[in-house]
Structure 1
Amino acid sequence: MESYEIFLLLMAVYVLGLIGIGLYFTKRQKSVTDFWLAGRKIGSLGIGFSAASSWMTAGGILAVIGLYMVLGMGSIWSFVAPNILALLLIALLVGKIKHLPAITQPELLEQRFSSTLRGPVAIIIAIVMALFAVADIKGFSLVLSIFFGLEPIYAAAIVALAISVYVTLGGFSAVIWTDVVQFVMLATFSLIIALVVVNAATTGSADVPAISSSELFGDVSPGWWNPFIVGVPAVLIAIFAIIPGWITEQDPWQRIWAAKDEKSARIGMVLGSLLIFLVFGVACTVIAISLNHIYPSIPASFADIGMGAMAEAEPALLVYIVSNLSPIAIGLCAVGLAAAAMSSADTFATSGGSCLSRDIYQRYIKPDATMKQMMTINRISVLIIVALATVLSFYINSIIDVIHIATFIASASYFFPLMGGLYWKRATKEGALAGLVVGAIAQIGLTVIDLANTPAFAPAYLDTIHPVLSNHGVIVGMLLSGVAFFGVSLATKPSSTVNLAPFFADEAEKLEKEVMVVDETDPDYKKLLTTIEKEVTGDRAIVKLNLEASATINWAKFVNELKSIHPSWVTPTGRDSVYRLTKADMLACVSLTRGDNEREIWFASEPLAADLDLSTKEFLVAFKQVSEALRNIGLLMTLPTSDNY
Structure 2
Amino acid sequence: MPILESAPEGSFQFFPESKPIAWINYLGAWMILGLGSIPSQDIYQRVMASKSETVAIRSTYLAGGFYVSIGLLPLFIALGAKYLYPEIYLDNKQLLLPEMVLRHSGLHVQILFFGALISAIMSTTSSGLLAPSAIISENLIRPYLGKKIQDKYFLWILRFNIIFVAIIATVMAQWKTNIYELVAEASILMLVSLFVPLTAGLYWKKASEMGALMSMVFGMIAYIALLNLELPIYPHVPALLVSMVSMWLGTNIFPKKQKIHA
**Are 1:445 and 2:252 matched, yes or no?**
no
Q: 1:331 to 1:383 in 2, by over 3 A?
A: farther
Counterpart residue number, 2:7: 220
Secondary structure of the equivalent of 1:495?
coil
Counterpart residue number, 1:406: 186
* Residues 207 and 251 in structure 2, CA contact (< 8 A), matched pair in contact too: yes
Which one of 116, 122, 129 corresponds to residue 349 of structure 1?
129
Alignment of 1:41-80 (within 5 A): none
Stretches of structure 2 that go unaligned for 5 or more consecutive residues are: none
Name whichever structure is richer in strand by fraction. 1
Alignment of 1:283-298 (within 5 A): 283-296=73-86
Secondary structure of the equivalent of 1:438?
helix
| Aligned residue identity for 1:497 | Q
Q: 1:277 to 1:332 in 2, by over 3 A?
A: same
**Are 1:511 and 2:251 matched, yes or no?**
no
Q: 1:346 to 1:287 in 2, by over 3 A?
A: same
TM-fit CA distance, 1:218: 7.1
CA distance in 2, matches of 1:277, 1:347: 24
* Residues 443 and 477 in structure 1, CA contact (< 8 A), matched pair in contact too: yes
* Residues 8 and 83 in structure 2, CA contact (< 8 A), matched pair in contact too: no
Q: 259-268 or 372-381: which moved more?
A: 372-381
CA distance in 2, matches of 1:293, 1:238: 24
**Are 1:368 and 2:111 matched, yes or no?**
no
Counterpart residue number, 1:479: 241
Secondary structure of the equivalent of 2:37?
helix
Counterpart residue number, 1:141: none
Q: 1:342 to 1:440 in 2, by over 3 A?
A: same
TM-fit CA distance, 1:329: 5.8
Counterpart residue number, 1:642: none
CA distance in 1, matches of 2:83, 2:210: 57
CA distance in 2, matches of 1:363, 1:235: 42
| Aligned residue identity for 1:360 | L
Alignment of 1:305-324 (within 5 A): 309=90, 311-322=91-102
TM-fit CA distance, 1:486: 0.9
Percent of residue pairs identical: 23
Q: 1:414 to 1:291 in 2, by over 3 A?
A: closer
Q: How many residues align?
A: 258
CA distance in 2, matches of 1:249, 1:275: 19
Alignment of 1:129-140 (within 5 A): none
CA distance in 1, matches of 2:185, 2:76: 28
Name whichever structure is richer in helix by fraction. 2
TM-fit CA distance, 1:439: 1.3
Stretches of structure 1 that go unaligned for 5 or more consecutive residues are: 1-213, 300-308, 451-461, 499-509, 513-645
Secondary structure of the equivalent of 2:218?
helix
| Aligned residue identity for 1:356 | I
- Structure with the greater alpha carbon radius of gyration: 1
CA distance in 1, matches of 2:138, 2:125: 20
TM-fit CA distance, 1:386: 3.3
| Aligned residue identity for 2:201 | G
| Aligned residue identity for 1:334 | F
Q: 1:266 to 1:326 in 2, by over 3 A?
A: closer
Q: 1:278 to 1:405 in 2, by over 3 A?
A: same
Counterpart residue number, 2:69: 278
Secondary structure of the equivalent of 1:393?
helix
Q: Deviations over 1:470-500 (max 9, x none)?
A: 2xx11111222222221232233x31234xx
TM-fit CA distance, 1:322: 4.6
* Residues 291 and 316 in structure 1, CA contact (< 8 A), matched pair in contact too: yes
Q: 1:325 to 1:249 in 2, by over 3 A?
A: closer
Q: 1:430 to 1:233 in 2, by over 3 A?
A: closer
* Residues 16 and 26 in structure 2, CA contact (< 8 A), matched pair in contact too: no
* Residues 223 and 229 in structure 1, CA contact (< 8 A), matched pair in contact too: no
Counterpart residue number, 1:236: 27
| Aligned residue identity for 1:358 | E
- TM-score, L = length of structure 2: 0.81
| Aligned residue identity for 1:235 | Y
TM-fit CA distance, 1:318: 2.7
Q: 1:332 to 1:428 in 2, by over 3 A?
A: closer
Q: 1:401 to 1:368 in 2, by over 3 A?
A: same
CA distance in 1, matches of 2:5, 2:65: 25
* Residues 196 and 243 in structure 2, CA contact (< 8 A), matched pair in contact too: yes
Alpha-carbon RMSD = 3.0
TM-fit CA distance, 1:323: 5.4
CA distance in 2, matches of 1:395, 1:248: 24
CA distance in 2, matches of 1:341, 1:217: 34
CA distance in 1, matches of 2:86, 2:212: 51
Q: 1:371 to 1:269 in 2, by over 3 A?
A: farther
**Are 1:253 and 2:44 matched, yes or no?**
yes
| Aligned residue identity for 1:446 | L
| Aligned residue identity for 1:416 | V
Secondary structure of the equivalent of 1:246?
coil
CA distance in 2, matches of 1:284, 1:359: 38
Secondary structure of the equivalent of 1:290?
helix
CA distance in 1, matches of 2:79, 2:180: 20
* Residues 357 and 378 in structure 1, CA contact (< 8 A), matched pair in contact too: yes
- TM-score, L = length of structure 1: 0.36
Which one of 209, 215, 218 corresponds to residue 435 of structure 1?
215
TM-fit CA distance, 1:316: 2.4
CA distance in 2, matches of 1:297, 1:392: 28
Q: 1:479 to 1:398 in 2, by over 3 A?
A: same
* Residues 216 and 289 in structure 1, CA contact (< 8 A), matched pair in contact too: no
Q: Deviations over 1:83-123 (max 9, x none)?
A: xxxxxxxxxxxxxxxxxxxxxxxxxxxxxxxxxxxxxxxxx
Q: 1:255 to 1:329 in 2, by over 3 A?
A: closer
Secondary structure of the equivalent of 2:74?
helix
Which one of 480, 495, 516 corresponds to residue 256 of structure 2?
495
Secondary structure of the equivalent of 2:169?
helix
Q: 1:496 to 1:376 in 2, by over 3 A?
A: same
CA distance in 1, matches of 2:223, 2:113: 38
* Residues 241 and 475 in structure 1, CA contact (< 8 A), matched pair in contact too: no
